[in-house]
Chains A and B, each alone.
Chain A
Amino acid sequence: MGYTNLFVAVCISVMRKGTVEDQAAIDQVLSGDYDAFEKLVEKYQGRVYRHLRKMVKDGQQAEDLLQETFLSAYKGLESFSGSSSFSTWLFRIATNSALMFLRKKRPESVEYNDEIGGGGNHDMMMHSSEFIRTPLEVLLSREGREKIEEAIEGLPVLYRTTIVLRDVEGFSLKEVADIMDTSVAAVKSRLHRARNSVRGTLSSYYTERDVDAN
């Protein structure tokens, strides 16, 4: 077995182990062990909160939705079939709650805001070389992280949700499609545009930064 295959095998076994652990915890919760539920909450709260912050942007709303998400998960735990992983199921609840909230508050932010540019032309060429020449420690410095977050937050909600689920949370394309209740083709298309938009924003930023520095 090559190193890549070995790595993939280890990753899959770690993922399965996580799923098995979650299922064991769920069985405990259903038999009346509330502590087991609190452990599940502790395990996922940071990721779900981050996801909701990115979706609705407002901290207080994200917190309300976070509480709602885990309460719904608890109440609906008996209906969790195990056909998807617990994390996919949980993120699906969170995403649906956030989309419902956004549709109610500002329908146009969800329904009519589903198109962005970002086809990926050569017009960004001038910008791009500075971006990839920038060392990783700068890209991931405090300032660099802020720029990444800004670039993602500037996207329409369905795009930022897609890129966060795939590239930040690491869900597979199929899982993202399940979470967002859409097709894999739609996920690929939104991801392509979202990634290119973020790439464009960051490329411009590092080009200007480079010009300013010289």
Chain B
Amino acid sequence: MKTCKEFCDNLSDYLDGEMSSDECRLIEDHLAMCPPCALMYECLKTTVSICEKGVSEDMPEDVKERLKVFLRTHCKSDRLKFREE
């Protein structure tokens, strides 16, 4: 019989769909009868879903501009090489 700790150790893999169907059934049965583990699972699921939406992709305009200028300057020599082929 698995302990709660062992079930919790598998929740991340379970979320990623990395468990076999037998293992999934065991986890689902346990979650249905163990409120603390079910709560743990809900929290983990919430964490994963807000990580995706919560980390912004804001890139300052001046960083974009400097990248463009930097690349135009430094890629020049290689540009000619590509073209000659």
Report A's interface with B, CB cutoff 8 A.
29-32, 34, 37-38, 41, 45-47, 49-50, 54, 63, 66-67, 70-71, 74-75, 119-122, 124-125, 128-129, 131-132, 136, 139-140, 144-145, 148-149, 152, 163-164, 167-168, 170, 173, 188, 191-192, 195-196, 198-199, 202-203
Cα-based distance from A168 to B74 in the complex (angstroms): 31
What are the residues of chain A within 8 A of B57 when measuring CB–CB? Answer: 46-47, 49-50
Assess the A202–B47 pair: CB atoms within 8 A. yes
Q: A31-B83, A34-B72 are in contact. List 13 more A-B contacts (CB 8 A).
A: A34-B79, A38-B68, A41-B68, A49-B57, A50-B56, A120-B9, A122-B36, A128-B42, A132-B46, A140-B50, A152-B51, A170-B52, A199-B46
Assess the B75–A34 pair: CB atoms within 8 A. yes
CB < 8 Å neighbour of B42 from A132, A148, A191, A202? A132
Considering residues A46, A119, A121, A167, which has the most beta carbons from chain B within 10 angstroms of its beta carbon? A167
Cα-based distance from A9 to B40 in the complex (angstroms): 31
B:31-85 near A, CB below 8 Å? 36-37, 39-40, 42-44, 46-48, 50-59, 63-64, 66-68, 70-72, 74-75, 78-79, 82-83, 85
Given A145-B55, A195-B48, answer yes or no on A129-B71 (Cβ-Cβ < 8 Å). Answer: no
* Interface membership of B8, Cβ < 8 A: yes
What are the residues of chain B within 8 A of A75 when measuring CB–CB? Answer: 75, 78
Output the nearest chain A residue to B69 by Cβ-Cβ distance: A67
Given A49-B59, A139-B46, A192-B12, answer yes or no on A198-B54 (Cβ-Cβ < 8 Å). Answer: no
Assess the B16–A74 pair: CB atoms within 8 A. no
What are the residues of chain A within 8 A of B85 when measuring CB–CB? Answer: 30
* Interface membership of B26, Cβ < 8 A: no
24 A-B interface contacts by CB (under 8 A):
A32-B82, A41-B68, A45-B64, A63-B63, A66-B63, A67-B70, A71-B70, A75-B75, A119-B8, A120-B44, A122-B40, A124-B40, A128-B39, A128-B42, A132-B43, A132-B46, A145-B54, A149-B55, A164-B55, A173-B16, A191-B12, A192-B11, A199-B43, A199-B44
